[in-house]
Amino acid sequence: MASLLAFIQIGGAVALLLFGLGLVRDGATKAFGLRLKTAIGLGTRTGGRAFLSGLVATLGLQSSTATALLTASFVDRGMIRGRMAQIVLLGANVGTALTALIVSAGIEAISPFLLLLGYVMSRRDNATWAGTGRALIGIALMLVSLSLLGAATQPLRAAPAMAGFIVLLDQAWPVALLFATGLALMCSSSLAAVLLVLSLDLPPGLAVVMVLGANIGGAIPPVLATLQSKAATRRLTVGNLAVRAGGALLALPFAGLAGQALMDMPYAGLAVMAHLGFNLLLAALVWPLARPLTRSLRRLLPDQEQQGDDAPQWLEETALETPQMALAGASRQALDIGDVIERMLDQTRVAFRKSDDAPLEEVVALEQRVDLRQQQVKTYLSRLGRGATEAERRHTINILDYVINLEHVGDIIDRGLAVQVRKKIGLQLRFSDEGYKELDTMFLQTFEVLRLAQTVFMTRDSELARRLMELKVEIRNLERQSSQRHLIRLREGVEETRETSSVHLDILRDLKRINAHFISVAHPILDEEGLLFESRLRGS
């Protein structure tokens, strides 16, 4: 009975640890999510910056899995090269190890203060303050969970059965490696598994083996989450798993020596130091091999050819007599149009970054597809049965408004953005570093606005719609600040700024217009709840 109670207490402590991790991740995403994504998107121009961006993002999100999936989303859209993405994940692995080091540093005494401060901050309306407060609450709960974990494992350390089990594991390191792998996979967190190992009284060599297994298990969830993704995305997560598993297997014979060397480390426990040392060594060894690793993965998981089809995928003729089914199909077709728009933006950004107009040829073809799909949706909904209710008619109007806005965005990309990018390429214009970064940041934020708009369109969630409207203010401020900085550089006589002035300002204007079309999907949702003014003019 005592053993059962001890296992329940350990399970509860681990659950609290995972809950705290989730709070930190959600809070950091709410407060700094766009900045973290922008940091990853912009921080991959060199290997050092890619490594640092992965490390910083993981320290913020408290999860290398979250960083891996975020990086995978950029790879899926062609915004990060495979080699740089692998280096980002090397940084993410080190970030997880640093997180374990910080959490295990014996600062449990400040958890009440963090709880109080986090609660006060989370009550603020500002998203940054509220998100930061939520993250602080999560950190406090993680610290509390470590204290609970230590107390819960105390009876097991002295139990004869536990001692016998540890002896068996110590005599079969491959089994211990698999056991720790399964533990980390079950928790979906190598951090949680390492901290659990830290709370147990294990022989040095066995502790190192368990840490190696936790590293393998922590790399499996991203692979499972991207099984249905593009080949480029799967190459990233499979490559990270291969690196961690290969490194763990190579380190396994030296676990005893490493355990003895780390026994007397003064700052933190052996498991945490082994976790940090393994990932630092792995990063140092794999970084120079990132290019051949990427090539090998490309041969293992080659890209698949995709064929287009002019026929609409979701507009079924048989559904027209059932308005709910017809509207569901039209909504899915509208989302497909949004995906095509995202691809157009992707290719335009690629052409902008590489000064290569080849990707713009696809933009022309995609714009024609957007026009065709938009017309198909309008024609389809015009034939909707007369038995539609008032709510269904309003839904029809919302779908039509959204696809019309997407069609306008396609026109802006094809006749505005693409034209400016061609001008940049044709005249061989070179932006200043500051100007280029400002425009690329605007591109990245436009992608995030589109993805949120797609979600708002389908869910009609008022909180997400409110967040979308808040992004409108951020975009407007970003465009204004970039224009002001551009003018300052002009006054300072920066040569690159003078040559690119027209292109810079036109791209900013077009991206701002594109974002306005995306954000308009939130208007009817907030208007129904009486949360919008008819005019932005102040009252007299």
Residue burial 61-87, b: 16+ Cβ < 10 Å; e: rest: bbbbbbbbbbbbbbbbbebbbbbbbbb
Most confident listed range (1-10, 65-74, 122-131): 122-131
> Mind giving me the DSSP string for 333-354?
HHHHHHHHHHHHHHHHHHHHHH
Cβ atoms 380, 326 nearer than 8 A: yes
CA 465 to chain centre: 20
Residue 267: phi and psi, rounded to 5, are -85, -45
306 confidence band (pLDDT: 50, 70, 90): very low
In 3D space, the residue among 335, 312, 326 whose CA is nearest the CA of residue 381 turns out to be 326
What pLDDT does 394 receive? 87
What pLDDT does 514 receive? 95
Q: What one-letter code names the amino acid at 438?
A: E
Q: Break the chain into its structural domains and give their ranges.
A: 2-300, 317-528
pLDDT digits 0-9 by tens, 477-520: 888 999 999 999 988 888 888 888 989 999 999 999 999 999 99
Cβ atoms 452, 471 nearer than 8 A: yes
The domain 317-528 belongs to what CATH superfamily?
Answer: Phosphate transport system protein phou homolog 2; domain 2 (1.20.58.220)
Give the single-character DSSP code of 479. Answer: H
pLDDT digits 0-9 by tens, 51-87: 888 787 777 666 676 677 767 766 765 557 778 888 8
Give the single-character DSSP code of 167. Answer: H
Residue 171 confidence (pLDDT) above 90: no
CA pair distance 349, 353, nearest whole angstrom: 6
The share of the chain scoring above pLDDT 90, in percent, equals: 27
Lowest mean pLDDT among 36-50, 113-127, 410-424, 452-466: 36-50
Q: Taking all residues of the chain, what is their mean pLDDT, rounded to a whole number? A: 83
307 confidence band (pLDDT: 50, 70, 90): very low
Residue 37 confidence (pLDDT) above 50: yes
Q: Which residue has the tokens 């249905």?
A: 228
Q: What is the mean pLDDT of residues 229-249?
A: 88
> Mind giving me the DSSP string for 59-102?
HHHS-HHHHHHHHHHHHHTT-S-HHHHHHHHHHHHHHHHHHHHH
CB-based contacts of 362: which residues, under 8 Å, 6+ apart?
Answer: 343, 347
Cβ atoms 286, 293 nearer than 8 A: yes
**What SS3 class is residue 536?**
coil
Angle ∠(200,205,211) on CA atoms, nearest 5: 60
